[in-house]
Structure 1
Amino acid sequence: MTDPAPSLTGLRFAKGHGTGNDFVLLADPEGVRELTPGQITRLCDRHQGIGGDGLIRAVRSRQLPEGVALLEDHPEAEWFMDYSNADGSRSEMCGNGVRVFVHFLVTQGLVVLEPGEELTIGTRAGAKVVARTGAGYRVDMGPWGFIHPELAAERGMDSLVEAAGLPVERPALSITMGNPHTVVALADLEELAAMSLIPTPAVTPLPPHGTNVEFAVPADPLVMDDVGHISMRVHERGVGETLSCGTGACAAAAATRFWAGTGAPDDWAVAVPGGVVAVRFFPGAEGRENVELSGPAVIVAEGVVADGIQ
């Protein structure tokens, strides 16, 4: 069976990354170039395509059903981040992807955003407010929460994770950031480095829509200059291991902060293979707690798809 969508030949694209979490980016303001899962997979292929952990299509919110619904409460959210994983499956959002998406809008001249200014964009996890900083962008990721709050309160964990390189199953805690995450604490950096995240970690029980799995190592000491420090690797749902995951960094910080107990800081530095991102917790609406993610965003290339990708 062939793809019903038009050929990709001549399609303009950009390539960008946030701490090594990389994306193929397309500007499609009027929503006329929706790609099939097969085309997304081919574009994201690192050997026979452009290569990326996912594909982001910049569409005006009014052109998508999810965007139209979001505009009812957030009429200022002109642009929607239509995000797909490298396997062609749709995802709610991506924390690194949000920063790269906004930087793409800026570099394409689709928005004007000076340092210190804010922009509201639409995602499948709701509206996100992004501020441009001197070193990149910071994103109000909205509230975090436990996927199984009753188990978190009772036992501090809700599942077991089996992964290549770990001799036994490890307890884990599942966090929602608008998308699902399962966080495992490891003893040291040597254990983290010895793992293989090529096979998909087995999570029992598995959240209903699958999960991203983060393996985190708290620093010793954990807190330095009022900032908590952890190192992390991640296996992303529908992608595999990536050099960074923004929502995963937020989830790993949230889980570690919960385990650390009373007195744990609100500010965290999360080291990932692609760099370092900053995570901050602050009071949100209705008694909940929001998370802010800060980090760089880089556009590395622009081009046009030749006739080698169909």
Structure 2
Amino acid sequence: MKLPFCKYHGAGNDFIIIDNLSGQHHLSENQISALCHRRYGIGADGLMLLEHAEAPWSYAMGFFNSDGTRGTMCGNGGRCLVAFADHLGIENHYFKAIDGTHQGFLLERKDNYSKVQLRLNDVHGIRHYQKDSYVVDTGSMHLVRFVPDVKAVDIATEGPYWRHHRDFGKQGVNVNFVEILDEGCLFVRTFERGVEDETWACGTGSTAAAIAALEHTGKELNHWHIQTKGGNLEVSYKKKNTVFTDVFLTGGAVRIFEGVVEI
């Protein structure tokens, strides 16, 4: 079967995206894993299906990890999906994902580049885990660890250790190592479950880091600039008691190429 696809990235976090509004494509876990393989496939951190949804949604987001398993919410993936839907001519980006409803906004569009702002769900509280460490659920569960020098972290060792730590049960956790560069500015590196490796950026991880930074620094900042290995993101929110509302993730979404693959 010939399968048309597009390849996108958001701050180096890359995805295969397939138009499945017709519902004709049904991919197995093995097929998705093969497509995401960086040696034998297209190569990606994950795969998304743009799917039909009943009103009031414009469409639905089906997200899969690079190992073929169905994933939890992916922030950069959601932004790339909005850019892909816009490329297909869809104007309203009120869509359904595994963790509920999201809305995307096209702030800029030029050639293959789009600047997309994505509204994430409210975040209900932060759990202090250990010294300089917090657990935050931003649609995916994240451990945020503040470190003095993020570039010095041996993420190939530290990432799997915390990702599979018994404190986080069978499902495990995504792991973010965060350095505070300046007031309102963070550098974030993320080891993602389902990818089982460091990704060049993680949207929900960057959001978790920005929310945890408020608690960690004690400064009432509601807008953070995030540096990652693959590019820059912005996170903003409002805090009311222990709830974070109006949570937005903003950054570039780039259409790299499109093609047809035989599966």
Identify whether the pair has TM-score above 0.5, normalized to the shorter chain.
yes
- Give how far 1:101 is off: 0.3
| Corresponding position of 1:260 | 217
Aligned equivalents of 2:99 and 2:178: distance in 1? 24
Aligned equivalents of 2:208 and 2:35: distance in 1? 29
Q: Is the 8 A contact 2:155 2:198 kept in 1?
A: no
Confirm or deny that 1:143 pairs with 2:104: no
3-state SS, counterpart of residue 249 of structure 1: helix
Q: Is the 8 A contact 1:173 1:183 kept in 2?
A: yes
Aligned equivalents of 1:260 and 1:207: distance in 2? 29
| Corresponding position of 1:108 | 88
**Could you say if the C-alpha distance between residues 130 and 207 of structure 1 is closer, same or farther in structure 2, counting changes exceeding 3 Å?**
farther
| Corresponding position of 2:180 | 218
- Which has the greater radius of gyration? 1
User: How many residues were matched structurally?
Assistant: 255
Structure 1 residue runs without a partner (length 5+): 1-8, 63-74, 113-117, 160-169
Where do residues 51-62 of structure 1 align in structure 2 (5 Å cutoff)? 51-62=43-54
**Which TM-score applies when normalising by structure 1?**
0.77
Aligned equivalents of 1:234 and 1:189: distance in 2? 10
**Which TM-score applies when normalising by structure 2?**
0.89
| Corresponding position of 1:177 | 138
Where do residues 1-310 of structure 1 align in structure 2 (5 Å cutoff)? 9-62=1-54, 75-109=55-89, 111-112=90-91, 119-134=93-108, 136-146=115-125, 152=127, 157-158=128-129, 172-192=133-153, 194-196=154-156, 200-202=160-162, 203-207=165-169, 209-219=171-181, 222-223=182-183, 228-239=184-195, 240-261=197-218, 263-282=219-238, 288-306=244-262, 310=263
Aligned equivalents of 2:57 and 2:192: distance in 1? 27
CA deviations on 1:229-252 (whole Å, 9 max, x unpaired) are 110110111102100100000001
- Give how far 1:209 is off: 2.9
- Paired-residue identity, %: 30
> Which structure features the higher share of strand residues?
2
Q: Runs ≥4 in structure 1, deviation > 4 angstroms? A: none
CA deviations on 1:269-288 (whole Å, 9 max, x unpaired) are 0100001100001258x965
**Could you say if the C-alpha distance between residues 186 and 287 of structure 1 is closer, same or farther in structure 2, counting changes exceeding 3 Å?**
closer
- Give how far 1:264 is off: 2.8
Structure 2 residue runs without a partner (length 5+): 109-113
Aligned equivalents of 1:210 and 1:235: distance in 2? 12
